[in-house]
Amino acid sequence: MYKLMKKYLFALDPETAHERTILALKVAKQTRMTGVLRSRYTVKDERLHSKLWGLHFPNPVGLAAGFDKNAEVYESLAAIGFGFVEVGTITPLGQSGNTKPRLFRLVEDEAVINRMGFNNEGAMKAAENLQHYANAGIPIGINIGKNKVTPNENATNDYATCLDILYRYGHYFVINVSSPNTPNLRDLQETEGLRQLVRGIQKKKAELEKKGTVSKPILLKVAPDMADEQMRDVVQLAASEGLSGIIATNTTLSREGLQNETMKHEAGGLSGKPLTERSTAWIREIYEEVGDNIPIIGVGGIFNGNDAYAKIRAGASLVQVYTGMIYEGPGIVKAINQRLIELLERDGLTNIHEAIGVDARRS
């Protein structure tokens, strides 16, 4: 079925295809088709269950930020089998993002380049859409960033504002300082600047919890293009400043090994299969640095259960897909989970948790 739909979607401009997919997921919710989707796509198996930050994940396969930018369709996404969904990136004020075209398929490489630029309707609209986030039945993460017009020296205010508006909603939050599509955003990954940013966010978090809001974990999403030393500094900073987890990794600026000569020179972040091995290697390095002290969510080039399992064995507690779903369709979640069960049985493991970091610990 998706082969026919893919042919239709791939005939469209990529951003138009995305918008129509969001519309279809809205219709699915409005027409109460989510039950049908759930019965078709959900894999229920206790071996895939895990618990992190006091949250129950029915399976380790989540959807990365960037798809449901305005928190409009997370309930329908839950129905196609995701174990968790991350919405956003959300900024304090709505913004249109970068000039179109800004999304490109590299079909030969099974990859995507995007320079969207945090296009979203803003934190107040997201809060409105997240009023019933608990209805999804899975953990909902909220990815937050700064507005394009906000200088880096004032970035803390933007992240704190997002937290202030959205902290009552969702189950965890992600600090996004690693997108390559907002000018100078990645400069916030420099150690001392990042330390001040994290401390400002943690201060706001503490203020909100003093008012009675339930504590929520805060994670940091990192770029794959940092040098080894900088990555180690960032990871150690996350640990020392009390962050709850790391998402590895965001899109890359590298164009190494791409076959598509037409699109590869487009500016923006590259995702998909070219990032598979690179992100897995970073997960392993981060896990070797922090062990089980800070959970890792692995993302980058996951197209099947083997890709997901490699990231889990490298040290990821959970994984996320996005570009893989563009190429493989909504059935990717079910296929990954079914393959994970097969791999657990092959390795004589009784729960997905037992596979975390196995390869890193053996090195």
Q: Alpha-carbon distance 302 to 277, whole Å?
A: 10
Strands 61-63 and 318-321 come out as: parallel
Instruction: Kindly report the CATH number assigned to the domain that includes residue 252.
Output: 3.20.20.70
Number of helical H runs and strand E runs in the chain: 13, 15
pLDDT at residue number 362: 72
Structure tokens at 286: 């981060």
Collapsed DSSP state (helix, strand, coil) of residue 95: strand
Q: Alpha-carbon distance 162 to 126, whole Å?
A: 10
Collapsed DSSP state (helix, strand, coil) of residue 78: helix
194 contacts 235 by C-beta, under 8 angstroms: no
Q: Alpha-carbon distance 270 to 26, whole Å?
A: 28
104 contacts 113 by C-beta, under 8 angstroms: yes
Q: Alpha-carbon distance 21 to 329, whole Å?
A: 11
Q: Alpha-carbon distance 115 to 271, whole Å?
A: 11
Residue-number span of the structural domain to which 112 is assigned: 2-362
The total number of structural domains in the chain stands at: 1
Q: Alpha-carbon distance 219 to 115, whole Å?
A: 23
pLDDT at residue number 363: 61
pLDDT digits (tens, 9 = 90+) for 242-296: 999 999 999 999 999 999 999 999 999 999 999 999 999 999 999 999 999 999 9
**48 closest CA partner among 317, 315, 279:** 317
220 contacts 249 by C-beta, under 8 angstroms: no
For the chain, list residues with pLDDT below 50. none
pLDDT at residue number 189: 78
Backbone angles phi, psi at 264, to 5 degrees: -65, -20
67 contacts 322 by C-beta, under 8 angstroms: yes
Structure tokens at 290: 């922090």
**336 closest CA partner among 299, 295, 283:** 299
> Active-site residue numbers?
179
Structure tokens at 194: 């990042």
